[in-house]
Amino acid sequence: MTANNARKVLIIGGVAGGMSAATRLRRLDENAEITILERGEHVSFANCGLPYYAGGVIEERDALLLQTPKSLKSRFNLDVLVQHDAVKIDRERKEVTANTPEGEKTFEYDQLILAPGAKPFVPPMPGAERGLTLRNVADVDAIMAQVQTKPKTAALLGAGFIGLELAENLHKRGIEVTLVEAAPQILAPLDDEMAAMVENHLIDQGIKVVTNDQATEITEDAVVLKSGKQVPAEMVIIAVGVRPDTNIAKDAGLETDQRGGIVVDESQRTSDPDIFAVGDAVVKRDRIDGAPVHIPLANSANRDGRAVADIIVGLAPSNGDGQVRKTAGVLGTAVVGVLGLTVAATGWNERKAKANGREVATIHTHPFNHATYYPGAEKLALKLVYDPKTLEILGAQAVGGAGADKRIDVIATAIAGGLLATDLAGIDLAYAPQFGSAKDPITMLGFVADNLASGVTSSVDIHDLAQKQADGHLVLDVRTVGEFERGNIPQAVNVPLDDLRDRIDEVRELANGKEIVVHCAVGVRGHTAVQILKAHDLAATNLDGGYTSWSAWQRKQERDAQQA
Amino acid sequence: MTANNARKVLIIGGVAGGMSAATRLRRLDENAEITILERGEHVSFANCGLPYYAGGVIEERDALLLQTPKSLKSRFNLDVLVQHDAVKIDRERKEVTANTPEGEKTFEYDQLILAPGAKPFVPPMPGAERGLTLRNVADVDAIMAQVQTKPKTAALLGAGFIGLELAENLHKRGIEVTLVEAAPQILAPLDDEMAAMVENHLIDQGIKVVTNDQATEITEDAVVLKSGKQVPAEMVIIAVGVRPDTNIAKDAGLETDQRGGIVVDESQRTSDPDIFAVGDAVVKRDRIDGAPVHIPLANSANRDGRAVADIIVGLAPSNGDGQVRKTAGVLGTAVVGVLGLTVAATGWNERKAKANGREVATIHTHPFNHATYYPGAEKLALKLVYDPKTLEILGAQAVGGAGADKRIDVIATAIAGGLLATDLAGIDLAYAPQFGSAKDPITMLGFVADNLASGVTSSVDIHDLAQKQADGHLVLDVRTVGEFERGNIPQAVNVPLDDLRDRIDEVRELANGKEIVVHCAVGVRGHTAVQILKAHDLAATNLDGGYTSWSAWQRKQERDAQQA
C-alpha cells in the first residue's frame, strides 16, 4: 500500500509520548511506515487513572484502555505490536531487535523514536519482592488481586504524588494505610511548611504518616523501618520514584546522564541524529534556568512526542522562530487530589531556589477560593516564590479546596509569559461570587509582592520566628481575644487590631525598642497593624502567612519531636 | 488627633473603588483625614451578590453588608458618611457640597477621589416606573418585597450578565421568567454562535428568551414589545446596561466622554490634577489597543482605587518602571454562572475585532474539562480569537461546565504576558485526571493554532457553510453512522473516518473537483480526515467546531426564523 520511498519510523513505547508522535506523524505523512513496539500488553492506557481504578472510583477496567492496536490501525494506519520488547538497537544497520511472542524479530528504521518511559525504583531490601509497584495495567491488576483478598493494612513506601493517590484510594476501600517517607516531609515538590498542611490533613482523615524513616525489610505481614518500628502491612506498595527505563539506549551507546536519562537537544534528538527520544526516559530542560531535569509528567511527553513528528517531516515553526522546531522547557506543574484536598505546584520551590543560589522572597496567603458571602467558599493556602531583586516568578504552591489548580495554572502561565510577581496584581481575572473574588487570590499575591518590593512593609518567615523570639522581639497577635484564646503562639501578646491605636503606648513599652513581629490569622490584619505601628515610630514586620501557616507547621514540628 | 498638616482626602462613593482607595490610603498614611461620602445607606456591600440574595442562595441580608461605617472607623479610622449625596464640586475652593439628613453640608479636600459608579439605564417608555432595577441594597430590598408577593411571572429586560443572574435566581424561586433582549443575541460579550449555546441552555431549563425585540410599554401585568407581542410580567426588572453616574463631575467641568464617563489619564487623574476618578464612572483603557472603553467591573475598580492611594502619597512603581504609578488597561474578563452552565470571556470577541478592522482567525473546540475516563467530566465549548498574521491573542470565550473559568483565566494571563496563540500549546498546566487532561483544552487550542499557522490544515466557519454548500462543495461527515443518524447537516454525506481510506474513490467522485468541507462532532476526527484526503490529492478543509457548534447555532437560527 505504501510508496517505496516511504519513510520508516519505528517507535519504542506506545503510551503518552510515543503514541502522540505516532498519531501526529500519520496526520503529517499518510505514506510513512509507522511501527510501534510496546513491551506490555496495552498501548495508550490511562496511566494517570490507575490509582483510581484501584480505589473503585473508575469502575471499569476497560475505561483505562483508551486505544487498542486495532483502533489505531483502522484510524491511523499504525502497526502497533504489543508484547514486543525492544532489546537492542543496531545504529549502524538502523535496526532494532525485539523479543516477541513469536521469538526474536528485527525491525528497520529510517528514524527511531525512543519513548520507553521510566520504571518504578525498588530499593534493595529483604522481602522487596513482596512490594507491588504501579506503572501499567498489569501492575494495577496485581494490586486489585490483593485488594480482593480484603487486606486490613497497607504500607505505602514513598509519599509523592502517586503514593498519595494510592493512599487515598486504598483508604477509601477501608484499608488502614501507613505512608512511609524517607525525607523529613511528604511531597517533595512542596516546601516543608506547605507539605505540613497536607500531612496534617492526611492524619486528620485517618491515614498514618511516618516521615524521616525508611523501610529496611518487608516481612510477611509488616514493613520494618530503619528506626526499628514495624508498620503492619498485609499489602506493600513501593512508590519511591522512577528511573528512566533506558538500558537499550545505553547499550546502543547513546548519551545518557548519571540517572540514565537519555540526553536530547532542543529538537529531542539524541546523540544519534536519526534517533529521537521523548517522555519520562529523557532529560528535560528546566524552564526557569535551562538546566537538565528529570520531570516525569504526561503533558510534556505528549507535547514533545508531537514535536518530534513535526521535526521528522521538517515542519518549520509556525511562529516564525527559526527554521527548526524546538521543544519548550518544563516547569513541572503538577496537581494531586487527596481526600478532599487539592495540592498543586509549579516551577521551583523555595528549597530548590536556595539550593541554586538564588535570592528568594516568599509570600504565604490563605484566601478563600471565592467570595465568602456566597455559600461554599473553601480555603486555599498559596505560596509564591520569586526573586526579590528582579521580581521574576520562580514558582508557586497551593494547598486547599476547589480552585487551587486554577491559581497554579494562572501562575504557570504568568511564568511562561514572563510576568513579574507584581504583575500578578494587574491580570484581569474572571470574577463572579461563586468563582472568585473581586480581589482574586492571584491579585492579592501581586499586591503583597508590590508592598514588599515598594518597602511599604516587610515580612518574617515562620521558620525564623523562634530565633526572633530568642532575640527578644515582641510577638504581637492582633487577632480578636476569642481567636487568641482558641490557640496562640507562646509568649505572644494579644492586642486586637481595632484596639491598637488606643494601646500604642502599651505596645511601645513591651517592644522595648526592638522590631515587633506582628501576626494575625493569615496576614491581612497584620499588614494594617504594621502600618499603624510604623506610623507611630515603632519598627514592625508581619509574620508571613500568620497564625494559620505557623500553627500548621508547628503541629508538624511537634509530631516530629514526638517521633524522634 | 491628626496633625495639622495632614492631607484631607475626600472620596465620593463608598463601594468597590472608593473603599479600596480609602483603606489603602489609610495603610499608607496614618495621619490623612479621609472622609467618604456615600449617597446610599450602605458602604462596601456585596453588589455582585445581590442577585443571589434575590434568589435565596445567599440567605441572610447581613451577608451582603461587608463593612459598616463603625467597623471602618475602628479599623481604618475612616469617616464614612452614608446618606450623604454629593451634589456639587467647587474646584476653585476645593470643596464638595452634599445633601445630608441634616441638610446641606460642605467638605474640604486636598485631593478628591470620584467613585460614584454607574446607574442602571432605564429606557423611557410608558409604565417604566414599574420596572425595578438592581444596583444596590435598597434595589434588592424592593425586588425581595415583590418576590414575597409570590408573582407567577417576571420579565427581565436585558440579557447581559446581571439579567442572566437574575433570570436564574427568579427561576429558582418558581417564577416563570422571560428574558427580553433588543439585540439579535443574548450576552453581548460573546459572539453569536457562542451565545446561541447559552440561549439553548436557558430555554432547555425553562426560561423564555426573546431576542431582536424590545419593550415599548410596561402595563399592569405585562410588557408590550415592539413586535406587538405581550410578555406576561407581574414583575419587571430592567437590566439593559448602566451609564456612568457622573452629573457632579460634568457640572464641575471635568472632562467626560459622550457616554458620561469621566476621562482620566494613566494615573486615574481627571482633567483637574487634584481630582482622581475610578470604577464604573470612568473611561478605562482597553488592554488590547489602548482605546477608551466602558467596562464596569469590580476588579479594575478595586485595583485602580488602590493605585490612586499610591499615587496620592507618591509611591514609586515597585517594578522600577518610571517614577509615577500607572494603572493597567482592562480586558473585560468576566464570568457568569447560569443554571449549571458557566459562561466566561476575556478580551475581544470576533465581532469587535472585525469592527476594529483586525484580521481575525478563530478556533472552536468542545473538549471535556478533565479526562473522560475519570467520572464526572463535563463538556466545555471554547473559542479563541487571534490575529492570524501576528498570532496575537485577542480574546477567548468559554461556555460549559466546571473549569470554564479556569481556561479563561489562563488565556487572560497569556494575553497579559504577551503569549502568542501557538504558545498556548507550550504552557505547563497542572494535570491529574480529575482536574484536566494530559493535553489540556488550552494545550489543544495551541495545537490547532499551530496547525492553522503552519498550513497543516485550514478551517471553515459555520457561518460560511451555507454559502459553501450553495457553491457546490461536498460536506463530508466523518462521524459514525449512529452519530449521523441522530442528527446531521442537510446534504452532508456520511463516510466514517475509519472507513475513509477505503472509500477515497467514492469521495473523490462526490467532491467533483471542489474543496471538501469535512466535519465530525467537534473537529478532532475532522482534522485527521482532512489530512487523509489531502494525502490523496483531494482539497479539504475542516468545519471549525464541527457538528456541535453548527447544530447549536442552527437551533438558534431556526428559532429566529420562527419568531420572524
If you write DSSP's letter for every residue of A171-233 in order, what string do you get? HHTT-EEEEE-SSSSS-TTS-HHHHHHHHHHHHHTT-EEE-S--EEEE-SSEEEETTS-EEE-
Give the mean pLDDT of B289-318: 95
Confirm or reject contact between A493 and chain B (CB < 8 A). Answer: no
Task: List for chain B the helix, strand, coil content (%; round to 5).
Answer: 35, 25, 40
Confirm or reject contact between B425 and chain A (CB < 8 A). Answer: yes
Maximal CA-CA distance, chain A: 92
Give the three-state DSSP class for A331: coil
8 Å CB contact of B346 and A449: no
pLDDT attached to residue B4:
64
> In the block, which residue shows the cell 470576533?
B350
Burial of A323 (0-12, 13-18, 19+ CB in 10 A): exposed
Is pLDDT above 60 for B3?
Answer: no
User: Between A524-535 and A504-511, two packed helices, what is the crossing angle to 10 degrees?
Assistant: 90
| Measured distance CA(B301)–CA(B315) in Å, rounded | 19
Q: Which residues pair with B401 in a beta bridge?
A: none
- pLDDT tens for B164-199 read 999 999 999 999 999 999 999 999 999 999 999 999
Confirm or reject contact between B532 and chain A (CB < 8 A). Answer: yes
- Selected for mutation to probe chain B from A7, A73, A318 (highest B CB count within 10 Å) is A318
Confirm or reject contact between A524 and chain B (CB < 8 A). Answer: no
8 Å CB contact of B318 and A498: no
- pLDDT tens for B269-297 read 999 999 999 999 999 999 999 999 999 99
Which positions in chain B touch A302 (Cβ < 8 Å)? 438-439, 443
Is pLDDT above 90 for B324?
Answer: no
Confirm or reject contact between A440 and chain B (CB < 8 A). Answer: yes
Nearest to A430 among B306, B335, B422 (CB): B335
DSSP B240: S
| Measured distance CA(B544)–CA(B492) in Å, rounded | 16
Please answer whether residues B158 and B134 qualify as being in contact, where contact means their C-beta atoms are separated by less than 8 angstroms: no
Give the mean pLDDT of A275-299: 96
Take residue B519 and report the three cell numbers written for it: 466535519
Which positions in chain B touch A498 (Cβ < 8 Å)? 74-75
Query: How far is the alpha carbon of B439 from chain A, nearest alpha carbon, in Å?
Result: 6
Q: What is the dihedral of CA A382, A385, A388, A391, to 10 degrees?
A: -90
> In the block, which residue shows the cell 516551577?
A347
Beta pairing, strands A540-543 & A516-519: parallel
| Measured distance CA(A405)–CA(A417) in Å, rounded | 18
Is pLDDT above 90 for B44?
Answer: no
- Please name the amino acid found at residue A334: A
Give the mean pLDDT of A427-442: 94
- CB contacts < 8 A, A to B, total 279
For the domain B8-117+243-313, what is the CATH superfamily, name and number?
FAD/NAD(P)-binding domain (3.50.50.60)
Burial of A93 (0-12, 13-18, 19+ CB in 10 A): exposed
| pLDDT tier, B36 (very low <50, low <70, confident <90, very high otherwise) | very high
List, as ranges, residues 381-420 from B with C-beta within 8 Å of A: 391, 403, 405-406, 408-410, 412-414, 416-420
8 Å CB contact of B319 and A77: no
Give the mean pLDDT of A364-385: 95
How many C-beta atoms surround the C-beta of residue A16 within 10 A?
28
Phi–psi pair at B9, nearest 5 degrees: -115, 125
Is pLDDT above 60 for B1?
Answer: no
Q: Which residues pair with B541 in a beta bridge?
A: B517
Q: Work out the mean pLDDT of chain A and round it to a whole number.
A: 96
Query: Of all helices (H) and strands (E), which one includes residue A459?
Result: strand A459-460
- pLDDT tens for B463-478 read 999 999 999 999 999 9
Nearest to B438 among A299, A408, A430 (CB): A299
Q: Which class is domain A128-240?
A: alpha beta
Residue in A closest to B450 by C-alpha: A318
Length of chain B: 564
Is pLDDT above 90 for B265?
Answer: yes
Q: Could you give the count of Cα atoms lying within 13 Å of B367 in the half-sphere of its Cβ? A: 24
Same fold? A128-240, A459-563:
no
| Measured distance CA(A349)–CA(B504) in Å, rounded | 54
Q: Could you give the count of Cα atoms lying within 13 Å of B298 in the half-sphere of its Cβ? A: 24
- pLDDT tens for B347-357 read 999 999 999 99
8 Å CB contact of A410 and B408: no
Residue in B closest to A497 by C-alpha: B75
8 Å CB contact of B425 and A303: yes
For the domain A459-563, what is the CATH superfamily, name and number?
Rhodanese-like domain (3.40.250.10)
* The CATH number of the domain covering residues in B340-454: 3.50.50.60
Burial of B82 (0-12, 13-18, 19+ CB in 10 A): middle
Take residue A240 and report the three cell numbers written for it: 519511591
Is pLDDT above 70 for B2?
Answer: no
Q: What angle do CA B271, B11, A446 make, to 5 degrees?
A: 85
- Please name the amino acid found at residue A89: I
pLDDT attached to residue A3:
52
Domains of chain A by residue range: 8-117+243-313, 128-240, 340-454, 459-563
Contacts of A278 (CB under 8 A, 6+ apart): A17, A18, A20, A21, A113, A114, A115, A264, A268, A301, A304, A305, A308
Q: Is the model more confident about B417 or about A328?
A: B417
pLDDT attached to residue B98:
98
Is pLDDT above 70 for A4?
Answer: no
| Measured distance CA(A258)–CA(A292) in Å, rounded | 11
Q: ipTM for the complex? A: 0.97
8 Å CB contact of A412 and B428: yes
- pLDDT tens for A80-115 read 999 999 999 999 999 999 999 999 999 999 999 999
Give the mean pLDDT of A354-362: 97
Is pLDDT above 90 for B328?
Answer: no
Please answer whether residues B177 and B384 qualify as being in contact, where contact means their C-beta atoms are separated by less than 8 angstroms: no
Q: Which residues pair with A379 in a beta bridge?
A: A368
- pLDDT tens for B520-561 read 999 999 999 999 999 999 999 999 999 999 999 999 999 999
Take residue B561 and report the three cell numbers written for it: 426564523
- Selected for mutation to probe chain A from B34, B311, B338, B373 (highest A CB count within 10 Å) is B373
Query: How far is the alpha carbon of A52 from chain B, nearest alpha carbon, in Å?
Result: 8
Give the three-state DSSP class for B83: coil
Is pLDDT above 90 for B563?
Answer: no
C-alpha separations of B408 from A311, B189, B287, B518 in Å: 31, 13, 16, 28
Is pLDDT above 80 for B564?
Answer: no
pLDDT attached to residue B534:
97
Q: Could you give the count of Cα atoms lying within 13 Å of B450 in the half-sphere of its Cβ? A: 22
Is pLDDT above 80 for A1?
Answer: no
C-alpha separations of B10 from A283, A393, B98 in Å: 60, 37, 12
